[in-house]
Chains A and B, each alone.
Chain A
Amino acid sequence: MTTAAKTPLVPFDEALTRYEPVMGLEVHVELGTNTKMFCGCATEFGAEPNTQVCPVCLGLPGALPVVNAKAVESAIRIGLALNCEIAEWCRFARKNYFYPDQPKNFQTSQYDEPIAFDGYTDVEVDGEVYRIEIERAHMEEDTGKSLHVGGATGRIHGADHSLLDYNRAGIPLIEIVTRTIEVPGGKAPLVARAYVNQLRDLMVALGVSDARMDQGSLRADVNLSLKPVGSSTLGTRSETKNVNSFRSVERAVRYEVGRHAGILDAGQNVVQETRHFHESDGTTSPGREKSDAEDYRYFPEPDLAPVAPSRAWVDELRGTLPEPPSERRKRLQAEWDFSDLDMRDTIGAGALELVATTVAAGAAPQAARKWWLGELARRSNDTGVDLADLPITPEQVAGIQALIDAGRINDKLARDVFDGVLAGEGSPEEVVAVRGLEVVSDDGALGDAVDRAIEANPDVADKIRDGKLQAAGALIGAVMKEMRGQADAGRVRELILEKLS
């Protein structure tokens, strides 16, 4: 390998004074079909190793593939949602390379005849719309997984031996490839993030995948190169593989810009290679070097008949598409009565669909926004887990808001309920019950506490009797303290005023 000496990382903003980033994104979406791409095996995540396998997905001698029609349907719907042309006739192809996690030592994929091609999707960053052009979306099968045992890094180098799990082998994937993306440099990381976020939202809205980056059902590869400002010559690209959160997509772009700039500043050449992204420190490190000599010897898969979706079927599927993202954004903003800034922040936080689902579950739009962009965004930042991957559902957030609306908990207690739900203690109701968080709504108990507060603070009580209602705050505080916060402050105020009127 011709690795150059390590060059210093150039700060992102400084790099942009000399270079413009050119990106390309390849996103793999694992379809949520009940069965695999070419056999009837189950696709459940997290099953015991090698329990969801059969002669076909193990590549046993004599086994033959059969295309999963549901996967083709999903592929077409994804293509349509990305404004792609749908092929009238296309084939699968074999991508030949030897690797132990690949049972047949070829991957059944598509090569020069993808099911969907020439599309686009519009993403929004800070109120600006950027059109991302889609080159193609094609069907393929996933590989198995290697587990390298022994050694320090979990990587193959230094491992004592490797274990193979073929449960994932043959799970249907759609690979969505963009054309090169060139946006004003400073926006590149955010545009990349917004694009992947939007794809995820689209997959969920289509109902074709749960699109969970943390479980690998949506995986992004970030291709990046730099060109000198004003130049039209593309630089050598790196390909950062399997970046597994929206935040990491943004960070990977940012890091690679700085790394490439450092190499180019030093007058060296960027090595064309795949790189691994490290969540812990936001850096990348070299994977395997990818030379142009790599030859996959693609040829049409002779074991599968061509896929020729009828135009009638394609039109029928077109009728099942969800609302396009840009129209959806406009409609939701109007329905929620959000300001442009509210909307921009919500989209920027990757919380649009989370807020929408929370609202659909009964919460007021502003309340939903408040939780997702406040309390939960803070926890997301603290833990480095994407909002959508936090272990709390929009329905649960709506449930917590409903408890507040019913006066059963207050905002302060709600934070404890969030803690409980995020800690896996159950539904909001269960957390309230187990942690004993419900506010005291028993007027008898509250009344006694109010009486004691009045007795202990005769001066304050007198002021209130004299009409200085703002003095009630002190008594409310005293009651809340006695009730350890578990009281509805509004009701306490009412009781105080009743008693002192």
Chain B
Amino acid sequence: MSDLTRINASDLAAQLADGSVTSVEATQAQLDRIAAVDGDLNAFLHVDAAGALKTAADVDARRAAGETLPTLAGVPIAVKDLINTTGQPTTAGSKILEGWVPPYDATVVARLRAAGLPILGKTNLDEFAMGSSNEHSAYGPARNPWDTGRIPGGSSGGSAAAVASFEASLALGTDTGGSIRQPGAMTGIVGVKPTYGGVSRYGVIAMASSLDQVGPMARSVLDAALLHEVIAGHDPRDSTSIDAPVPSVVEAARRGDVAGLRIGIVREFGGEGFQPGVQRRFDEAVAKLAGAGAEIVDVSCPSFEHGIAAYYLVMPSEVSSNLARFDAMRYGLRVSPDGNPSPSAEQVMAATRDAGFGDEVKRRIILGTYALSSGYYDAYYGSAQKVRTLIAQDFSAAFGQVDVLFSPTAPTTAWRLGEKSDDPLAMYLEDVCTIPANLAGVPGISVPIGLADDSGLPVGGQFLAPAQADDRLYNAGAALERLVPAPVLEEVVR
């Protein structure tokens, strides 16, 4: 294995800057790594070797010419296949967009290009980001490098597997109910969901507009912060984007000091349904944080227990509307109904959507269509919005007492492929700790806190902070990373 694939992005950036390594070498090393292991992982849906090497060569040439380049220039990255890229297909993990090449770049991709990051390819995901295991991808599941018989988490499972297996040191994910943090936890890497509105959603295929957020995935807190800085900041093309300076996340990640920090432990996140091995690692992490000078405070957020119920009304409602545009009229798959030589547009729409969407997507469209129906709206969508308000109030009250909240990222470690496929509800419960942040728009980070002693698989700890205080996550995360070193994967476990 080439050393270049195992070093962190910040270290690679330093080597690129001092000229000891070229971006072409680093990019080629990642492409070789992908070629070697992705057959077992299925983390990538598309690899763009030529495009990545071209960017790398360009960065090398500019550096050789003495140009001052952005910090991460030349560091290769993987991008979740929900995010639009010109020159590469963007499928959302769905048959309905198979082969679709967007005519425009997402704002975050434009920012990666402007910062000189070679884009290695597009990573696997649950179809339209709907799932917690990556098993709902129309192109087969991505697999967990710690045990390829297990799921890598989801929906950003491809990005997580790629970073954890050294196919890339950086990746972009999206997080609607935990889709960055939970796969981060399952694969032993760092994943951040920024404050809602902190990163532009323009060009990111919408799942649930009021919840979706793009964020960084990396093997260190500092690497995540460096990537966060590249993609964050106001975008006039996204009306929900915050027009304020980006919090000083890199500085916070370099600081990593919890002395005097008030850390709230959410009483509702623990106990029944939580795997004992996860709980033990978590308790140890809390003890270490206390040992480093943090003040540990017990807090209660009683509305959090309604988070999943509210989420599974708001999210599918928005899904049912956001996914209406996939109708075969302008782009994507077009299927004519069998035995009908001159079908109407409506018949083509129906046949295409029937053939192009997978079961989980259909399930959520149906749920959402029902929840928004006349006569049910108030009871479902309306009530769910009220729960969101209550959850936001719980956060406000908690952040009146403490600086950050801390919990396990997910109740369990990675499960076996197929283990929960017949039980959607069990799968939905995996997101219990992550969903409240999306409903309230606050930021969250998952940091590895070791391997569970009962399963031998990675466990993640999650910090949550008030909106626009993303820097607190990086400070606490960096401190935790120092106190509890991340587990190191020797080689993909087949």
Residues of A within 8 A of B (CB): 55, 58-67, 94, 96, 98, 100, 103-106, 162, 164, 295, 297-299, 302-305
Contacts and interface: CB of A to CB of B under 8 A. Distances in A.
Nearest to B369: A297
B233 to A, nearest CB: 16
Nearest to A294: B374
A305 B239 contact: yes
**Closest A-B pairs by Cβ, 5 of them:** A105-B324, A297-B372, A302-B210, A302-B209, A62-B203
Contact of B317 (A55, A58, A164, A299): A299
B330 A59 contact: yes
Contacts of B204: 62
Nearest to A65: B239
B325 A66 contact: no
Given A103-B330, A302-B210, A64 B238 contact: yes
A349 to B, nearest CB: 44
A61 B106 CA distance: 10
Contacts of B203: 55, 62-63
B60 interface: no
11 contacts: A60-B102, A60-B330, A61-B84, A96-B320, A96-B372, A104-B325, A164-B329, A297-B372, A302-B208, A302-B318, A303-B209
B377 A62 contact: no
Given A61-B84, A299-B372, A100 B205 contact: no
Contacts of B330: 58-60, 103
Contacts of B84: 61-62
B373 A297 contact: yes
| Most chain B CB within a 10 A radius of its CB, from A60, A164, A304 | A60
B434 to A, nearest CB: 19
Interface of B: 83-84, 90, 92, 97, 100, 102-104, 106, 201-206, 208-210, 236-240, 317-318, 320-321, 324-327, 329-331, 345-346, 349, 369, 372-374, 377, 381
Contacts of B377: 297-299
Contact of A62 (B202, B329, B346, B373): B202
Contacts of A305: 239-240
Contacts of B321: 94, 96, 106, 297, 299
B237 A62 contact: no
Contacts of A98: 324, 327, 346, 349
A495 to B, nearest CB: 74
Contacts of B326: 61
A66 B236 contact: yes
A105 B106 CA distance: 22
B345 to A, nearest CB: 5
B205 A62 contact: yes
Contacts of B346: 98
B379 to A, nearest CB: 14
Contacts of B345: 100, 162
A298 B320 CA distance: 12
Contacts of A302: 208-210, 240, 318
B102 to A, nearest CB: 7
Nearest to B332: A61
B325 A303 contact: no
Contact of A297 (B97, B100, B239, B374): B374
A139 to B, nearest CB: 14
A61 B90 contact: yes
Contact of A295 (B202, B324, B373): B373
Given A299-B372, A299-B381, A302-B210, A62 B106 contact: yes
Given A61-B331, A62-B102, A62-B106, 14 more contacts: A58-B330, A60-B103, A61-B325, A64-B239, A96-B320, A96-B372, A100-B327, A100-B329, A104-B324, A297-B321, A297-B377, A299-B318, A299-B381, A302-B208
Nearest to A146: B345
B239 A55 contact: no
| Most chain A CB within a 10 A radius of its CB, from B83, B209, B381 | B209
A105 B330 CA distance: 12
A62 B323 CA distance: 11
B94 to A, nearest CB: 10
Nearest to B83: A62
Contacts of A103: 325, 330
A63 B459 CA distance: 36
A62 B372 contact: no
Contacts of A303: 206, 209, 239-240
Contacts of B206: 61-62, 303
B310 to A, nearest CB: 14
Contacts of A59: 325, 330
Nearest to B97: A61
Contacts of A164: 329
Given A62-B204, A299-B321, A302-B209, A55 B103 contact: yes
A105 B365 CA distance: 14
A103 to B, nearest CB: 7
Contacts of B331: 60-61
A479 to B, nearest CB: 71
A59 B328 CA distance: 12
Nearest to A62: B203
B372 A67 contact: no
Contacts of A297: 320-321, 369, 372-374, 377
Nearest to B344: A156
B364 to A, nearest CB: 14
A191 B87 CA distance: 59
Nearest to B370: A297
Contacts of A63: 202-203
A419 B28 CA distance: 77
Nearest to B105: A62
B384 to A, nearest CB: 11
A164 B348 CA distance: 15
Nearest to B348: A100
Nearest to B206: A62
Contacts of B209: 302-303
Given A103-B330, A299-B377, A302-B318, A61 B349 contact: no
B102 A61 contact: yes
Nearest to B90: A61
Given A61-B205, A297-B369, A305-B239, A105 B327 contact: yes
A63 B102 CA distance: 11
A106 B369 CA distance: 13
B372 A304 contact: no
A106 B326 CA distance: 12
B81 to A, nearest CB: 11
A194 B362 CA distance: 50
Contacts of A55: 103-104, 203
Contacts of A106: 321, 324
A105 B102 contact: no
A104 B83 CA distance: 18
Contacts of A62: 83-84, 102, 106, 201-206
Nearest to B374: A295
A298 B375 CA distance: 12
Contacts of B239: 64-67, 303-305
A94 B345 CA distance: 22
Contacts of A65: 239
